[in-house]
């Protein structure tokens, strides 16, 4: 059997991270992996998370199995966090999943079960794991351009590429803080996407991985909430990795919002059958922590605001450095984008040059984790980027 095992290349991101760790230069800069870092370069555990974990440890509740849908209290809380006080809370089915990626895979399997011939329309560039997850569920993936024009999303390019989308196809959109470009639609553009879905009969899958890292939790959910009020069916994948810092706890949720409320019970059964045949039920600890954070929302929001403000400050400072260096506009737009990531206008060869000459590590396609940049490194990175792009 093992003789027939395919010889695959290692994951490129984690290979680059291994290369970074092996690099002996003391001034090396890691802008690879999508985790938030503070000004010291550490990924902190929020104080509200530490307090919640202590509270759970003191209670020492049973570790017995829970339901296939996971922590039901968490499910109700994250549904309200996503949808606000919408009446559509009565028209949704939410289950806890193994992180946001787990939610995406569960929903991909759901699509494959309900509509196996649907095409997934994915942004280009897009989150590196979207296409593999969808294809692993047997789904076909097509792409539409996601790029900036005159300071905002070039929506005409989007719709030009989406012209062949058919009824029943899926459009995969990022709820906020687009990974990897940092380019988010305006509310008017969200409306245009909603109109497109209504006119074409296309179903929306919203990946909400960064709620609270853009403007604030409410405004970051505006596009999603517009969709659920206007469309008959919306699928949502949500993650607590970034906005609660629960990365390795793998805490997420899959949600289906439908106007056909008679289907809700069957939807839950199908979702539970999918997870039962995969990981059975999700881990409890992260969901229990998240549930306590939802109950102490203001304290959590205060710490989340600190994280978001630091990222925004880094973006502004980087933009100012580019302006001082008379950098090309394609670099200066980084200050206008949102969230943890941006795409550098560099070729794969230029990214290698950036790594080899300046010890600055980003992915081959130009993605950098802005949230991994310390203010003391900004001038160094800005000068290096200007030199590489002009070389």
Mean pLDDT, residues 325-336 taken together: 93
- pLDDT tens per residue across span 56-71: 999 988 999 989 999 9
Q: Which helix (H) or strand (E) holds 74?
A: helix 72-83
Say yes or no to pLDDT of 150 above 90. Answer: no
Mean pLDDT, residues 201-209 taken together: 98
- pTM of the prediction? 0.95
pLDDT score, position 18 = 94
Q: What is the mean pLDDT of the chain?
A: 96
- Three-class SS state of 282: coil
Query: Which tokens in the block code for residue 381?
Result: 């990175």
Percent residues over pLDDT 70 in the chain: 100
Mean pLDDT, residues 165-183 taken together: 97
Domains of the chain with bracketed CATH? 11-44+299-389 (3.90.1150.10), 65-295 (3.40.640.10)
Say yes or no to pLDDT of 220 above 90. Answer: yes
Say yes or no to pLDDT of 391 above 90. Answer: no
Cβ–Cβ under 8 Å, residues 201 and 327: no
**Minimal CA–CA distance to 167: which of 233, 262, 108?**
233
Complete DSSP assignment for 131-186: HHHHHHTT-EEEEEE--EETTEE-HHHHHHHTTT--TT-EEEEESSS-TTT-----
pLDDT score, position 370 = 95
Mean pLDDT, residues 214-229 taken together: 97
pLDDT band at residue 100 using 50, 70 and 90 as cut-offs: very high
Cβ–Cβ under 8 Å, residues 134 and 110: no
Name 94's Cβ contacts closer than 8 Å, sequence gap at least 6: 69, 75, 76, 78, 79, 253, 254, 255, 256
Mean pLDDT, residues 18-44 taken together: 94
What whole-number distance in Å separates Cα of residue 155 and Cα of residue 190?
10
Residue 123, phi-psi category: left (phi > 0), alpha (psi -120 to 50), beta (remainder): beta
pLDDT score, position 245 = 97
pLDDT band at residue 235 using 50, 70 and 90 as cut-offs: very high
């Amino acid at each position: 059997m093992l003789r027939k095992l395919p010889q695959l290349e290692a994951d490129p991101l984690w290979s680059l991270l291994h290369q970074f760790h092996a690099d002996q230069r003391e001034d090396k800069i890691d802008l690879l992996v999508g985790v938030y870092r503070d000004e010291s370069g550490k990924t902190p555990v929020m104080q509200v998370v530490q307090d919640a974990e202590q509270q759970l440890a003191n209670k020492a509740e049973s570790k017995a199995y829970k339901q296939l849908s996971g922590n039901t209290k968490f499910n109700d809380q994250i549904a309200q966090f996503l949808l606000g006080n919408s009446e559509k809370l009565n028209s949704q089915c939410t289950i806890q999943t193994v992180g946001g990626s787990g939610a995406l895979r569960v929903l991909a399997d759901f699509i494959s079960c309900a509509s196996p011939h649907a095409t997934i329309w994915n942004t280009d560039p897009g989150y590196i794991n979207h296409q593999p997850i969808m294809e692993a569920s047997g789904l076909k993936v097509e792409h539409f351009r996601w790029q900036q024009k005159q300071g905002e999303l070039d929506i005409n390019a989007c719709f030009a590429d989406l012209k062949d989308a058919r009824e029943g196809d899926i459009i995969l959109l990022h709820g906020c803080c687009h990974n990897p470009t940092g380019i988010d639609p305006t509310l008017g553009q969200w409306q245009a996407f909603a109109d497109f879905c209504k006119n074409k009969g296309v179903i929306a899958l919203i990946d909400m991985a960064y709620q609270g890292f853009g403007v604030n939790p409410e405004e970051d959910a505006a596009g999603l909430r517009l969709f659920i009020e206007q469309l008959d069916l919306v699928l949502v994948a949500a993650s607590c990795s970034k906005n609660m810092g629960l990365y390795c706890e793998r805490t997420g949720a899959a949600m289906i919002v439908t106007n056909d409320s008679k289907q809700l019970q069957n939807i839950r059964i199908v979702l539970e059958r999918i997870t039962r045949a995969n990981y059975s039920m999700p881990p409890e600890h992260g969901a229990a922590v998240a549930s306590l954070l939802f109950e102490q929302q203001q304290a959590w929001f205060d710490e989340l605001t600190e994280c978001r403000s630091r990222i925004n400050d880094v973006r502004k400072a980087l933009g100012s450095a580019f302006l001082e260096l008379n950098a090309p506009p394609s670099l200066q737009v980084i200050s206008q984008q949102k969230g943890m990531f941006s795409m550098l206008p560099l070729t794969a060869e230029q990214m290698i040059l950036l790594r080899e000459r300046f010890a600055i590590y980003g992915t081959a396609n130009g993605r950098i984790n802005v949230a991994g940049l310390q203010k003391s490194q900004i001038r160094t990175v800005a000068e290096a980027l200007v030199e590489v792009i002009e070389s």
